Amino acid sequence: MHSLRFLYYTVLLQSGLCLQAQEKDPGIRLALQLDSIASSAAPSSHFAKLYTETVLISLQHYQRADAREKEFIQRFEQTFAGYFFRAAASRGRGHGSEAWQVYFGDSTLTPLQYQLLGINAHINADLSETLTGVFTVKELQSNKKTFIRFQEGLRNQFKQFYVENVQATRLTRLLDKLTLGLARSYGSIMMSRWRKRQFRLAIWQSTHPEKEARLKRKTTRCKERIDRLILRHL
């Protein structure tokens, strides 16, 4: 994983903001909130470390975006992060944090397991809820490219995540060997598909509610299956 402090100071330098403005910037404040959890000894710290890096990469990625795009991303990120903050505060037992129950159900998991469970919960459960909760269908449709464009930043982050964890277990080593390293690209592609599916769910909730309900049930089953794989084999 990239040095969080290096990323943090890079974002500050590239922002061009004075110190007072930096302290008020919602993206920087969000990164600091996450970093505070990442520095704790709680199980939530493992995903918070990865999440802090994601937010800092997002700040870099959208630094040159226009005002409309930045406003969309800021609204999205603040609301999206709220799901993790509430789950961390309630240890997955609060209203709206049901997707995090597996994450907080065992305090003896490895950092890799926690991070993968966090990715699974946040993308395959929280993402569509965030989009439908804060945006209209019209807003989502007009900002689709802005949302999808960040996949490039996530792809690079996942590649680094893969390199750092490929030797973590016998299974990760075996998958890397059997696929000649192609498992890294497959993982990145799957994350992209998950995000696009969540965006589709958000649109369909208003435009095709029956399709949305079927796809949501399928997505829930997929998430539960991935949770089991992570717990049993990693």
75-100 pLDDT, tens digit each = 999 999 999 999 999 999 999 999 99
* pLDDT at residue 17 is higher than 80: no
> Contact at 8 Å (CB) between 118 and 51?
yes
| pLDDT at site 48 | 97
Where is pLDDT greater, at 128 or 20?
128
The per-residue b/e assignment along 149-179, b for 16 or more CB within 10 angstroms, e otherwise, is: ebbeebeebbeebbeebbeeeeebeebbeee
> Contact at 8 Å (CB) between 37 and 44?
yes
The rounded distance, in Å, linking the Cα atoms of 217 and 219 is 5
Q: Can you tell me the mean pLDDT for 12-39?
A: 73
Among the ranges given (20-29, 141-150, 217-226), the one the predictor scored with the smallest mean pLDDT: 20-29
* Sequence-separated (6 or more) residues with CB below 8 Å from residue 114: 43, 46, 47, 103
* pLDDT at residue 8 is higher than 60: no
